[in-house]
Amino acid sequence: MTRFQTSTGIALAATLLASSASAQQAAPESILPQPKGEAAPTAQTAQPNPARTVDEAFGDIQMASGEVVQEIPSLEGVWTLAQAQQLLDFIPGVAAEGLNPSDYQSEALTAAIAAGEGEELNVLASKVFVWLVEDLRDGRTPMESRRQWFVVDPDADRLPTWKLLEDALASGEIAATLTSLNPVHPDYAALKAELATASDPARIKLIRANMDRWRWLPQDLGRQYLVTNVPEYMLRLTVNNKIIDKYRVVVGKPGRTATPQLAEMVEAVIYNPTWTVPQSIVVGEGLGNKVLNNPTWARNAGYKATKGANGWITVVQQPGPQNSLGLMKLDMPNEHAIFLHDTPSRHLFNQDNRALSHGCIRVQGARELAMTMSMLGNAKSKEDIPAIREEVSEITQSGEYTRYAMERQWPVYITYFTMATDVDGKLRKFNDIYERDAPVLAALDAPRVSDRARETSEEAVEIVDDMQT
């Protein structure tokens, strides 16, 4: 096999690692460079927070009649007229965030303010505040309209509604508290700027839908991550909101093999992967018997088959250039069996329409990405790079299946934006290849839904294979 040579990925890792003189002792994220003149931002987790204790989630535990009673946090506060007026004044401005001001009962709130302080004002103002928190922090689109959306947004755990209400009333910073919930990614700001100048109704709706999609994700994606925008057919390696490298990708075909939307962690790089062929192909397409009955053909194609006493045939494609996963894959365990991988069918990256796989994401330049991830996931300084490069080169030459664990795991986001900033920095509209826009647009036009689920009820789509097209 080809030995890894000095590449863009190696230079990238060296540049990132060299930025910290104290990288050997630094926290994992601190080895990455910061924009000049800016302090290092606090990294946010890409996954939901660990389970919180009862104390943390619900307040003090009290003993009553020998039973443990948990004090449920209140979603109703005591409002002054000035605070309620600040809330009322905030409502029209949500139009700039792609939300509908008519959702938030301005007329009723005006009347409650006119009636003076008291229970009626407390109940209504608290309800409006909670609705705004939910929509700004979590997105207005209910789960049933988010097709194949399997990301659990951690923001509701990180910024619980009751705590936001409590703090806003204590500080009097009603508007500032709500404004702080907006997504911080530059792409959201670009959509917001476009919304301010858009006049075509259809374009306005599309912008609003894609602004809401940003709210479905963690408010802060972190300092470094991989992100794929499926309709764009592109993968980005991003550090401090800057695209460090970009790769063309092939994604799932429309239908049952459409690529779902996920937020996972890359735990390792698999070099020289094997591919266990699904039974839908082994039995359904007769591959098992073909491998057993044609040993020369099977050997040339890299297949090995075993037949159990019960007649069950297992077929595994061995590592090698013909392997359907190519020479690497990024190990990101998830119930959908979706991952990023190499491919021997590299000619497909030249096509404009690259929705061709059975769900997994094939990456152009995957071997360079693998080297980059191996270094960024394990090197503590630039001095570590040559040893990692040599080790990975030996692994690839060996042709043997090897799981190369990453000490520092990287978030990877698989997203679906039909209007977004492309890899060249231009705001563009992308084809809605999976027809996921319609339910979002309909939901934004429909009355607001309260008490929305945080997790989808959709079942994981079984990816039956990733045979090369």
Rounded to the nearest 5 percent, the helix, strand and coil shares of the chain are 40, 20, 40
Distance between CA atoms of 230 and 413, rounded to whole angstroms?
Answer: 10
Could you list the active site residues? Answer: 341, 360
Residue-by-residue DSSP string for 18-87: HT-TTTTTS-GGGGS---TT-PPPPP--SSPPPPPPHHHHH--EEEETTEEEE-PPPS-----HHHHHHH
Whether 329 contacts 342, CB under 8 Å: yes
Residue with tokens 């057993």: 292
Backbone φ and ψ for 262, nearest 5 degrees, come out as: -135, 160
Side chain identity at residue 54, one-letter code: V
Helix (H) or strand (E) holding 96, with range, is none
Please state the φ and ψ torsions of residue 258, each to the nearest 5 degrees.
-65, 140
> What would the two tokens of residue 446 be?
């429909």
Q: What does the alpha-carbon distance between residue 328 and residue 320 come to, in Å, rounded to a whole number?
A: 10
Structure tokens of 142?
């209910």
Cα–Cα distance for residue pair 281/75, rounded to 1 Å: 54
Beta-carbon contacts of residue 27 (< 8 Å; ≥ 6 apart): none
Contact 191, 382 (CB under 8 A): no
**CA 204 to CA 409: how far, in whole Å?**
38
Distance CA 248, CA 354 (A): 9
How far, CA to CA in Å, does 221 sit from each of 185, 281, 467?
Answer: 8, 38, 32
